[in-house]
A and B are shown apart, each in its own frame.
Chain A
Amino acid sequence: MTRLLKYKSLQVGTFGIVLALLPLVLTNRYYLNVMIFIGIHTLLVVGLNLLMGYAGQISLGHAAFFGLGAYTSGILTATYHMSPWPAMVAAVVLTAFVALVIGIPALKLSGYYLAMATLGFGIIVHICFKELNYLTGGPSGLVGIPTLAIGSVILDEPARYYYLVWFTTLAAIALSLNIVDSRVGRALRAIHDSESAARASGIYTSRLKIWVFVISAAYASVAGSLYAHFITFISPGSFDFMFSIKLVTMVVVGGMASIWGAVFGAATLTLLPEVLAVFHDYDIVVFGLILMVVMIFLPQGLIRGALDLLEKYRLRRGVAGESV
């Protein structure tokens, strides 16, 4: 147990140190911006992975929770001049509440039905962002969101914001690693593997599913607030159905039920459009293709899937070699 814990702290620690040193090498603002987006996406994907990868409940509406966080922070600070940190807390509370209200009926559904319900929810929220002009600024977006400050230090430099984002994300990773390796974490995985057996083992599955849905929405809300204060301008386009699909793709590419996989998935699919600029207008097609290929050939995710394939190849060669 303690060895496992040390191993876990070692992973988080090493990753933290690498991240802390990175801005010393990566002085280019563009690269730092990309790293900030990777951090925000990682936070989203780690939360979604708790719901999807561990508890096995699909959400196709996660962009909505991301958007609720961003818009609540944005509206409270830009329109009502609230100070950003309390606004961020308010955003988490509001988003968690919405998730609770949606989750209670939606999580009675499972499989495709839950996917459809969350999809519908995501579309409704997206329409609200577009149509509630007086609140959200409508399709043209919400401007004038202030940058964050810690005390007197204003985080207007990407390097500073980078540390805030990755500190938050790293904390979320640590909390999630602790959760998945615990009584509730096992209960979540149990629901995924056999809901009947989970119930017979005394797990109140419907309540636990709602809880993990709410927690996952709260992660998304924090990511949304961080996003809003970073780019200081938000518009509905960032929170549409396509973004929900991208998040699901990140979870799948990283490998379901793997926290570090979530980091990998978020990083890969955030970098991909940057690297392959040619695909710019077709990036959603590329995402769809990746999702299909990974689901069909590497359902364990890219890393574990590739390792499995390698193993299979080696075995086959080994067997062939012996028979010769």
Chain B
Amino acid sequence: MVTDLSIEPILKAENVSKSFGGIHALRQVSFEVRREQIKGIIGPNGAGKTTLFNLITGFYRADNGTIYFNGHRLNGLGPHQVAELGIARTFQNVELFDRMTVLENVMVGRHPRTSSGFIGAALRLSRHRKEEDGIRQDALEMLDFIGLGQRAFSASSALPFGLQRILEIGRALATEPLLLLLDEPASGLNAAETRELGQLICRIRDRGITVVLVEHDMSLTMEVCDEILVMDYGRTLAEGSPREIQQNQAVIDAYLGEEPVA
């Protein structure tokens, strides 16, 4: 049976469950992400959003259920294999390589798309040198795309926090993902930075990359997302367009009602 992948959802989770000890972090979660959309996942702390990211990217193993990505079953794959398949992610608490420059951080992102190893590097074989030049070139282009071209040679730890978040996104994009998972990219950013982040996310989508966004900042989520999934206590509570979500009574009770919606 040949299925046309381009109309299939890029990511599909079926009845995924995960518990830690006695705590059910995720219970029978099912959802789909369509290609080239920006999907938001919202929900109170402990709703299981980050757990979901960790399951998709192979950091955790699901107790039950299946996750499909672009025609591949993700269960049992490690993070590096998931990255090779084309899923990139960022972390809630920015995880940069602090002792490297901005450029080098993005160069690490080229890892899954390049191949030279110890011997090629140690002996500086010509294939390795050519690849190394390519990595550098690609990384510099990526820095221009995210607007950090001028900071290429700064220490990544010297960047202001907002730019560190942007750099982390750049490193993720350097892996050439089809799907980008952003874990609370706006947390710690001010309003202006959040607006710029929103624009960047739309530009990423315009490159043909599907984006899934876990976020607390409602203004950002409502503005950029095509579709929103609401989670609560490890379950999916509702799913729909931002407008539908804002009017959903269950969502308002569980979550939105607690704070004013921008």
Contact = CB atoms under 8 A, between A and B. Distances in A.
B211 to A, nearest CB: 16
A202 B175 contact: yes
Q: Which of B121, B132, B172 has the most CB of A within 10 A?
A: B121
A203 interface: yes
Nearest to B116: A183
Interface string B113-136: 110111011111000100111011
A54 to B, nearest CB: 10
A62 B168 CA distance: 36
Contact of A184 (B100, B104, B112, B121): B121
Nearest to A186: B108
Contacts of A268: none
Interface in A1-16: 1, 5
Contact of A203 (B80, B95, B107, B118): B80
Interface string A177-204: 0110011111101101110111111111
Contact of A201 (B109, B124, B128, B135): B109
Nearest to A197: B95
Grouping DSSP codes into helix (H, G, I), strand (E, B) and loop, the A interface class, with mixed when no group exceeds half, is: helix
B35 interface: no
A189 B111 CA distance: 13
A150 to B, nearest CB: 23
Contacts of B110: 183
A190 B118 contact: no
B57 interface: yes
B149 interface: no
A211 B113 CA distance: 20
B99 A203 contact: no
A59 to B, nearest CB: 18
A257 B99 contact: yes
Given A193-B100, A200-B88, A182 B121 contact: yes
Contacts of A187: 108, 111
B76 to A, nearest CB: 15
Contact of A200 (B57, B121, B131): B57
B235 to A, nearest CB: 26
B255 interface: no
B122 A189 contact: no
Contacts of A201: 83, 88, 108-109, 111-112, 171-172, 175
A170 to B, nearest CB: 14
B97 interface: yes
Contact of B118 (A196, A199, A202, A211): A211
A193 B99 contact: yes
B132 A1 contact: yes
Given A194-B97, A200-B172, A202-B84, 8 more contacts: A1-B136, A179-B121, A197-B97, A199-B78, A200-B89, A200-B95, A201-B112, A257-B99
29 contacts: A1-B136, A175-B122, A175-B123, A176-B122, A182-B128, A182-B132, A183-B114, A183-B131, A184-B117, A184-B118, A186-B108, A189-B100, A193-B97, A193-B98, A194-B97, A196-B59, A196-B95, A197-B168, A200-B57, A200-B59, A200-B79, A200-B89, A201-B111, A201-B172, A202-B109, A202-B175, A203-B108, A211-B118, A215-B118
- Which 9 A/B pairs are nearest by Cβ-Cβ distance? A202-B112, A182-B121, A202-B83, A199-B79, A197-B95, A193-B97, A175-B122, A194-B95, A204-B80
